[in-house]
């Protein structure tokens, strides 16, 4: 659990709502995109620690290392053996962005 955030709960929300994307950005609340409209989730803004912990919960050690080396990474994550997500993460100085696209829609 990353403070108020848990990746399992966030991905379950995306699947349940049929959202196109989940956006996580340091300093802002998590956002789901429904029918092209971004909607903030009613929880506190994501901290650097939240973002790092959430990313670690879905990334392998190799993916973490690539993010550290290259500053960005793209990969497919399979959630609960069925839902597939395209993950795009980027880090620059203290700015961390994570976009998780629902590939099952």
Query: Structural domains in the chain?
Result: 7-102 (3.30.450.90)
pLDDT along the chain (105 residues), means of 10: 74 94 94 96 89 92 94 95 94 87 88
pTM, 2 dp: 0.89
- pLDDT at site 1: 39
Q: Among 71, 72, 88, 81, which residue's Cα sits nearest to residue 104?
A: 81
Cα–Cα dist 6/94, whole Å: 21
For the chain, the distance separating the N- and C-terminal CA atoms, rounded to the nearest angstrom, is 27
Burial class (CB in 10 A: 0-12, 13-18, 19+), 49: exposed
- pLDDT at site 52: 87
Cα–Cα dist 59/14, whole Å: 18
Give the CB-side neighbour count of residue 79, counting CA atoms within 13 A.
22
**What digits encode the pLDDT tens for the residues 12-34?**
999 999 999 999 999 999 999 99
- pLDDT at site 37: 96
């Amino acid at each position: 659990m990353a403070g108020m955030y848990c990746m399992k709960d966030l991905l379950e929300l995306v699947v349940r709502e049929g959202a196109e994307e989940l956006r996580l950005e340091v300093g802002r609340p998590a956002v789901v995109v429904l029918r092209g409209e971004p909607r903030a989730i009613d929880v506190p803004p994501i901290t650097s620690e939240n973002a790092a912990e959430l990313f670690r919960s879905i990334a392998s050690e190799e993916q973490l290392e690539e993010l550290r080396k290259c500053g960005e990474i793209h990969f497919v994550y399979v959630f609960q053996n069925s839902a597939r997500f395209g993950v795009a993460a980027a880090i620059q100085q203290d700015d961390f962005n994570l976009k998780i696209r629902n590939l099952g829609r």
